[in-house]
Structure 1
Amino acid sequence: MTSVDRPESVGSPPPFFVYGTLRPGEVNHDLFLRGRVAAEQPATLPDAVLYEGPGYPYAVARPGSAIRGELITPAPGRYAELLVALDLLEEYEGPGRPGNLYDRVVREALLPDGTPVPAWVYLASPLLARDLAASGTEIPGGDWLGR
């Protein structure tokens, strides 16, 4: 992990916005989040759309759309461990790396009351996002659980 990648470089460590297999009841939720999370709460990610992938979704930036998910707050003392585990799961190797499946970026998620919260989110890498926008299958309503 580079210094650019460390949570400290964006101020206080942001929570994670998850929208696919890390959501409650999905295959990776317990595998990656059990024992590492202090809180989970519903949230939306504005200006993004979901596309189907091979067993998991891809989020792609798109003004005017929104996706549903959860805001995950790591348990005290578990932040670094969770960050590394999620980067491995999402095949994120660092900012702008050509091998990235997803890029981890800070975006504002919205709580149900409309409160904005800066959060890490994994978006499809730029080349993949371009291909998805051209020929991918969009998930209606932006909700992986409703597919």
Structure 2
Amino acid sequence: MKITMLYPFFVYGTLKPGEPNYTRLLAGRIVGEEPATLAHAALYTAGPFPFMVREPDLVVPGDRVLGTLITVASAEYEQMLVDLDMLEAYTEGGSANMYERILLPVETSTGPRTAWVYVAGAEPLAQIRAGQMRRISEGEWRSDAAALAYWRNL
């Protein structure tokens, strides 16, 4: 896929600032980050990372996902796309993608912005529908020890 626009990325899981994949893949390669929200979306998890969904049967009215809009340095953009697609097990046109990468409008303090967003692929969606993942009702992923303890006690 030839990228002509350098869209930012909306990150909501392990790529958020303070999370392990931010340090591993984003630190030193971005030129901006700001809080952002994606309406009509929900998070689900079965382990160490979340899946975002927008399917009407899986989203409750008023649901939103809280995340960060990441702007990548232009010199890093093409490699960043490769690195993030690999992390998210996404291949353009692939039928077995763990995540799909799509463009969506996200809300920031300065208004809406179009961003790349990784959403759950077919297999994770099937697992969610089969009740194999927990819904994160507050719409914000946290991997800290307190959040992990909370999920283990449900």
Scaled by the length of structure 1, what TM-score is found? 0.86
For structure 2, which runs of at least 5 residues remain unmatched after alignment? 148-154
State the Cα deviation string for residues 53-85 of structure 1 (Å, max 9, x = none): 320000011453210000000013111011110
Contact 1:7 1:14 in 2 (8 A): no
Contact 2:96 2:122 in 1 (8 A): no
Q: In 2, Cα distance between the equivalents of 1:109 and 1:134? A: 29
CA displacement at 1:129 relative to structure 2: 1.6
Contact 2:43 2:65 in 1 (8 A): yes
Q: Which residue of 1 aligns with 2:151?
A: none
Which of the residues 126, 136, 141 maps onto 1:139?
Answer: 136
Q: Which residue of 1 aligns with 2:23?
A: 30
Identity across matched positions, percent? 38
Matched, 1:74 2:72: yes
Which of structure 1's runs of 4+ aligned residues deviate more than 2 A? Answer: none
Q: CA RMSD in A?
A: 1.6
Which of the residues 125, 128, 140 maps onto 2:124?
Answer: 128
Q: Which residue of 2 aligns with 1:88?
A: 86
Q: Which has the larger radius of gyration?
A: 2
| Number of matched pairs | 138
Contact 2:42 2:139 in 1 (8 A): yes
Contact 2:99 2:120 in 1 (8 A): yes
Q: In 2, Cα distance between the equivalents of 1:88 and 1:40? A: 22
Q: Which residue of 2 aligns with 1:17?
A: 10
Matched, 1:99 2:92: no
Code of the residue aligned with 2:33 in structure 1: it is E
Q: In 1, Cα distance between the equivalents of 2:24 and 2:141? A: 18
For structure 1, which runs of at least 5 residues remain unmatched after alignment? none
Contact 2:98 2:123 in 1 (8 A): no
